[in-house]
Amino acid sequence: MCAFSINSALMFRFLKKKSGEQPGPADPEAAPAEAASAVESPSPSIEPADDSHAAPASWRARLGGSALARGLGGLFSRAPEIDESLLEEIETTLLTSDVGVAATETVLADLRTGLERREFADAGQLLQRMRGVLVALLRPIEGPLHVNRARKPFVLLTVGVNGVGKTTTIGKLARRYADERYRVMLAAGDTFRAAAVQQLQTWGERNDVPVVAQGQGADSAAVIFGALQAAKARDVDLLIADTAGRLHTQAGLMDELAKVKRVLAKLDDSAPHEVLLVIDGTTGQNAVNQVRQFSRAVGVTGLVITKLDGTAKGGVVFALAREFQIPIRFVGLGEKVHDLRAFDADAFVDAMLPQQLNG
């Protein structure tokens, strides 16, 4: 076996073809450089599973175990009286499921109006009304990601704190768009974690997608700058760049991400074309703070909410929708490649509400 991994060798051969080309400098802001070189990395201890032929589970199967779905299911399984006490129980369920105060107040205000006007003959009608309010909360942020082939390469910068599933999300996105016949390249910009680089290279090898990487501790902006140069040279449609999720201080992380944006603008003043913030759905209301901080630093244009199938309470999606007008591009409903789903407001709400709502 050759010294380089399959994916690293692919990038290495390409870079060697360009005469006199050298890796980017430590500080690309000081002097823009040529493409970053790929380096040998050992295989990660955990490789992404090859589950491309697995049938995706239903939204209800994935989300039915959330605290919100279980709480509402319990309330309406006993044919409750349609009165103020029921509304108080609904309020408690929403609040304890991370829906947030503002979104909960929106739902309860509408239901109280209906109750006062005697518009609910039974629990089914109240649920129908509740469904309408919840879908209305989510509809404005139901925004699929459109990769514009005219902006070649379309630069997708992914950001988020460590542990949210950012690198795995990038691997799944690479598979999605490669399957749609986009020419995809990955940039291993999370140079503070060796495992992140290794994991991304494994995703690249599995999906036959090139990865631009340097060693651990390399300048993240330099790696991503070099990747954009390489993507331009290779006529790539989509460049997906990973970034660090933690530095020594939170301010240091945000400064580093802002630097990445400035460096990209040296080659393409419209890049990045999408700043995708990945959020762990199990973090609850802390997700709101993350959106606020990353939006202030790098101008988030889309969200991915992961791990909604696990211990997530489920309601944070409504809290984010109520406070921010940032589209939710994808949600993670499991570990498989096809469990990264384009966000669907109707499917999400229906999975959270009791079965009787849908007949």
More confident site: 334 or 187: 187
Q: Do 202 and 336 belong to one domain? A: yes
Could you give the 3-state DSSP secondary structure of residue 238? Answer: strand
Task: Check residue 32 and give its pLDDT.
Answer: 45
Q: Do 106 and 212 belong to one domain? A: no
pLDDT over 70 (residue 190): yes
Average pLDDT over residues 246-253: 67
Rounded to a whole number of angstroms, the distance between the first and last alpha carbons of the chain is 59
Extract the tokens encoding 256.
């580093």
Instruction: Report which DSSP code applies to 18.
Output: S
Whether 80 is in a domain gets the answer: yes
**Which helix H or strand E contains 212, and what residues bound it?**
strand 211-212
Extract the tokens encoding 177.
């768009």
The fraction of the chain above a pLDDT of 90, given in percent, is: 68
Average pLDDT over residues 325-336: 94
Whether 207 is in a domain gets the answer: yes
Q: Do 132 and 255 belong to one domain? A: no
pLDDT digits (tens, 9 = 90+) for 207-234: 999 999 998 889 999 999 999 999 999 9
Q: Number of structural domains, the chain?
A: 2
Provide the domain limits for residue 243: 146-345
Q: Do 97 and 216 belong to one domain? A: no
Q: Do 105 and 235 belong to one domain? A: no
Whether 50 is in a domain gets the answer: no
Residue 23: cis peptide before it, omega within 30 degrees of 0: no
Q: Are 259 and 205 in contact (CB under 8 A)?
A: no
Q: Do 166 and 106 belong to one domain? A: no
Q: Do 198 and 137 belong to one domain? A: no
pLDDT digits (tens, 9 = 90+) for 109-159: 999 999 999 999 999 999 999 999 999 999 999 999 999 988 999 999 999
Extract the tokens encoding 279.
């959020």
Q: Do 268 and 289 belong to one domain? A: yes
Who's near 64: CB < 8 A, 6+ residues apart? 70, 351
Q: Do 188 and 127 belong to one domain? A: no
Q: Do 155 and 287 belong to one domain? A: yes
Mean of the per-residue pLDDT values for the chain? 85
| Closest C-alpha among 292, 305, 299 to residue 344 | 305
Q: How confident is the model at residue 29 (pLDDT cuts 50, 70, 90)?
A: low
